[in-house]
């Protein structure tokens, strides 16, 4: 189920695979939407290049083992039930995942065993004692410097100061991966490729983390403690650490170990063009996984797009805490596109945490309904349509500013619009890309108000020019916003009569042919209750 090769390396994009210990929340949808925006954008940029988009569920480990036990369920049955919710969300939100991987699938488990054996064959695995503070919720050890004692209702316990999760002291003999051997090659990689980790502040975090000596990584647990996982090859008394298992999904979902192709996965898409992650798991993706890949002599991901968190009343939304916003409920109320729009518009800056609220969701929905939906209705109003019924629509490339001083600055905005959006997208500034389109829509609305094309005091020629430029704005924005709001932009471009073959990124250039028979009165959003 990996894309067929035609000489072009598929565009490969991944999101984290989620723990199915509870139903998905808005944070999960956020990662999915961000990745979907780039997957769709890649398609618009090059329709011939296959897109491979991976997501799935991370089903092994203590966290799931305990959650299933708490429900009195068999862990696989438990995962069967919850994994479905993640799939449903993907469908409902129109996210174009091409491969949904469950880590309990045989093909994946085989890939993990293979990877272990490869590391072992390179002498990078050894048995040693391990002790430290383990968080089941985060499935990770924390150094003593990141652990603090807490007291609540007379009970004493320890938490990680990084995530706030509870930690427990654990000591046992287990297998370790020689992570320390990759310290200098990782520093060299990030020094030579300072653009990999985006936005730049997270590159700085990775460089800082690499200033500290890397400890070898404990990569197995005694079976008596953790039975729900993939056994260590040739030592069934140990279970493979869930993060080694989970990170291997990115490889297994692209067909690793590629014994048949011999091209290190290139024809299946390897390496990823973009891996989208939340900042909580930066270390796993920027240090552990690249070290594993270096160990295996495989190319590293080209970009690691790291986003911050959605909070509720400033606390990180999380399944364990229970302060979550339900994405299904939001989509049922407003439709997928308005939720996607809000996530991208507000969460698309990636640098800092943002607070989720229904009021903000409604406020931003109204913003786009008014700027885009109402602009369409204004430009195709009955009065304008009847005034211009016998005036031929000018070609926008021929429109000049003669006679009015209004059109010049607006023409300049439209001419620059596609390249400005593209620049922001390439720099992973999704929110800024959207804002550039919103500015153009705002100016278009203003132009309508000032030029009054419906009024008899405005000459029919000027009125026709103004209407043609509004249509052009709608056409350009319709094309450029397709990755954000795929359904609504399709309705818009259909209503404008833009042929489906003329909706690529290149078609967004000012003055490209496109607008055909415009259907008046089409309501993009039907939201009387907002
Ligand atoms: O960490 N805001 O799974 P997970 C924004 N299985 N994004 C959020 C978020 C929030 N409040 N909460 C979660 C795991 N996310 C592992 C990953 S990958 C090989 C294994 C998103 O279910 C964000 O992408 O805890 C974060 O990194 C991910 O969900 C964690 O999901």
**How large a percentage of the chain has pLDDT more than 70?**
98
* Ligand 1 binding pocket includes 31 (Cβ within 6 Å): yes
For residue 11 and ligand 1, the question of a CB distance below 6 A is answered with no
What sections of 24-157 are H helices per DSSP?
26-45, 62-70, 75-92, 106-121
Q: How far is the CA of 445 from the centre of ligand 1 (A)?
A: 39
Q: pLDDT band at 404, cuts 50/70/90? A: low
| Ligand 1 neighbourhood includes 354 CB (under 6 angstroms) | no
Q: How far does the centroid of ligand 1 lie from the alpha carbon of residue 289, in Å?
A: 16
pLDDT at 260 over 80: no
Q: Does ligand 1 lie within 6 Å of residue 277's CB atom?
A: yes
Q: Is residue 16 in contact with ligand 1, taking CB distance under 6 Å?
A: yes
Whether pLDDT at 402 is above 80 = no
Q: Find the range with the poorest average confidence among 82-96, 251-265, 300-314, 363-377.
A: 251-265
Whether 529 shows a pLDDT value over 60: the answer reads no
Residue 247 alpha carbon, nearest atom of ligand 1: 19
Nearest CA to ligand 1 atom 10: 27
ipTM surpasses cut 0.95:
yes
- Could you tell me the two tokens for 467? 């209407």
**Mean pLDDT over the full length of the chain:** 95
Q: Is the CB of 243 under 6 A from ligand 1?
A: no
Average pLDDT score over residue span 406-433: 96
Q: From ligand 1's centre to the CA of 136, what distance in Å?
A: 15
The pLDDT-based confidence of 527 (bands split at 50, 70, 90) is: confident
- In this predicted structure, what is the pLDDT of residue 526? 82
- Residue written as token pair 């079976």: 223
Ligand 1 pocket test, candidate residues 15, 28, 89, most atoms within 8 A of CB: 28
Taking the model in full, what pTM does it have? 0.96
Whole-number Cα distances in Å, 38 to 45, 250, 320? 10, 17, 29
* % of the chain residues with pLDDT over 90: 90
In testing the pocket of ligand 1, which one of 14, 18, 251 has its CB within 8 Å of the most ligand atoms? 18
Determine if ligand 1 sits within 6 Å of the CB of residue 436. Answer: no
Q: Is the CB of 369 under 6 A from ligand 1?
A: no
Cα of 379 vs its chain's centroid, Å: 34
Average pLDDT over every residue of 161-176: 93
Q: Running DSSP on this structure, what letter comes out for residue 309?
A: -
Q: In a 3-state reduction of DSSP, which class is residue 345?
A: helix
* 64 CA to centre of ligand 1 in angstroms: 15
Token pair of 310, please? 């959605």
- Rounded distance from Cα 318 to ligand 1 centre (Å): 9
Of 84-88, 127-131, 422-426, the least confident: 127-131
Q: Which atom of ligand 1 is nearest to the CA of 277?
A: 24
Q: How far apart are the CA of 165 and the centre of ligand 1, in A?
A: 14
Ligand 1 pocket, 411 CB below 6 A?
no
Rounded to the nearest whole angstrom, what is the distance from the C-alpha of residue 28 to the centroid of ligand 1?
6
* Three-state SS letters, 498-527: CCHHHCCCHHHCCCCCCCCCCCCCCCCCCC
pLDDT higher than threshold 70 for residue 295: yes
**CB 439 near ligand 1, within 6 Å:** no
Check pLDDT > 50 for residue 348: yes
- Residues sharing a CB contact under 8 Å with residue 26, sequence separation 6 or more, in sequence order: 310, 317, 324, 325, 326, 327, 330, 343, 356
353 CA: nearest ligand 1 atom: 2
How much distance in Å is there from the Cα of 308 to the middle of ligand 1? 10
Q: What is the dihedral of CA 468, 473, 474, 476, to 10 degrees?
A: 120
The residue contributing the CA closest to ligand 1 atom 29 is: 28
Is any atom of ligand 1 closer than 6 Å to the C-beta of 30?
yes
SS3 per-residue string spanning 182-225: HHHHHHHHHHHCCCCEECHHHHHHHHHHCCCCCCCEECEEECCC
Supply the pLDDT for residue 1.
Answer: 43
What's the CA-to-centroid distance between 31 and ligand 1, angstroms?
8
Mutate-to-test residue for ligand 1 from 14, 27, 135, 202, highest number of ligand atoms within 8 A of CB: 27
| Atom 26 of ligand 1, residue of closest alpha carbon | 278
Give 278 Cα–ligand 1 centroid separation in angstroms: 6
**β-pairing, 304-307 with 197-198?**
parallel
CA 286 to centroid of ligand 1, rounded, Å: 15
Find out whether the beta carbon of 434 lies less than 6 Å from any atom of ligand 1.
Answer: no
**Residue written as token pair 């439209």:** 414
């Amino acid at each position: 189920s990996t894309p067929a090769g035609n000489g072009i390396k598929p565009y490969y994009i991944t999101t984290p695979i989620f723990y199915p210990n509870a139903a998905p929340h808005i944070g999960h949808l956020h990662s999915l939407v961000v990745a979907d925006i780039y997957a769709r954008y890649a398609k618009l940029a090059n329709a011939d290049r296959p897109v491979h988009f991976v997501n799935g569920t991370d089903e092994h480990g203590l966290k799931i083992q305990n959650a299933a036990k708490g429900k009195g369920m068999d862990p696989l049955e438990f995962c069967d039930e919850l994994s479905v919710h993640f799939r449903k969300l993907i469908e409902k939100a129109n996210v174009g995942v091409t491969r949904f991987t469950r880590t309990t699938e045989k093909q994946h488990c085989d890939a993990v065993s293979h990877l272990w054996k490869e590391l072992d064959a390179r002498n990078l695995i050894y048995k040693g004692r391990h002790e430290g503070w383990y968080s089941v919720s985060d499935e990770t050890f924390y150094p003593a410097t990141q652990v603090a004692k807490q007291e609540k209702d007379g009970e004493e316990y320890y938490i990680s100061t990084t995530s706030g999760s509870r930690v427990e002291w654990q000591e046992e003999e287990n297998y370790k991966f020689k992570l320390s051997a990759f310290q200098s090659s990782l520093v060299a990689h990030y020094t030579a490729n300072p653009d990999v980790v985006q936005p730049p502040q997270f590159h700085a975090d990775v460089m800082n983390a690499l200033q500290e000596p890397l400890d070898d990584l404990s990569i197995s647990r005694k079976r008596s403690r953790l039975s729900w996982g993939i056994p260590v090859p040739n030592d069934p008394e140990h279970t493979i650490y869930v993060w080694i298992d989970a990170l291997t999904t990115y490889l297994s979902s692209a067909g690793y170990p590629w014994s048949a192709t011999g091209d290190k996965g290139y024809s299946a898409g390897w390496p990823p063009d973009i891996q989208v992650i939340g900042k909580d798991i930066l270390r796993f993706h920027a240090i552990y996984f690249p070290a594993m890949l270096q160990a295996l002599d495989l190319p590293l991901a080209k970009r690691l797009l790291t986003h911050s968190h959605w909070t509720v009343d400033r606390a990180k939304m999380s399944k364990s805490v229970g302060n979550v916003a339900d994405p299904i409920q939001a989509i049922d109320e407003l439709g997928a596109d308005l939720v996607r729009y809000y996530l991208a518009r507000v969460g698309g800056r990636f640098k800092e945490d943002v607070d989720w609220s229904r009021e903000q969701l409604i406020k931003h929905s109204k913003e786009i309904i008014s700027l885009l939906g109402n602009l369409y209705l204004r430009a195709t109003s009955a009065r304008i349509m009847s005034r211009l019924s016998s005036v031929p629509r000018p070609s926008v490339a021929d429109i000049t500013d003669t006679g009015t001083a209004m059109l010049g600055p607006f023409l300049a905005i439209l001419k620059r619009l596609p390249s400005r959006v593209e620049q922001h997208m390439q720099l992973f500034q999704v929110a800024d890309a959207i804002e550039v389109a919103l500015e153009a829509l705002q100016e278009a609305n203003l132009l309508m108000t000032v030029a009054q094309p419906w009024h008899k005091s405005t000459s029919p020629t000027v009125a026709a020019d103004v209407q043609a430029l509004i249509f052009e704005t709608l056409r350009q924005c319709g094309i450029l916003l397709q990755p954000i709001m795929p359904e609504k932009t399709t309705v818009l471009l259909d209503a404008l009569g833009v042929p489906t073959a003329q909706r690529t990124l290149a078609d967004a250039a000012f003055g490209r042919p496109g607008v055909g028979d415009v259907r008046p009165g089409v309501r993009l959003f039907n939201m009387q209750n907002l």
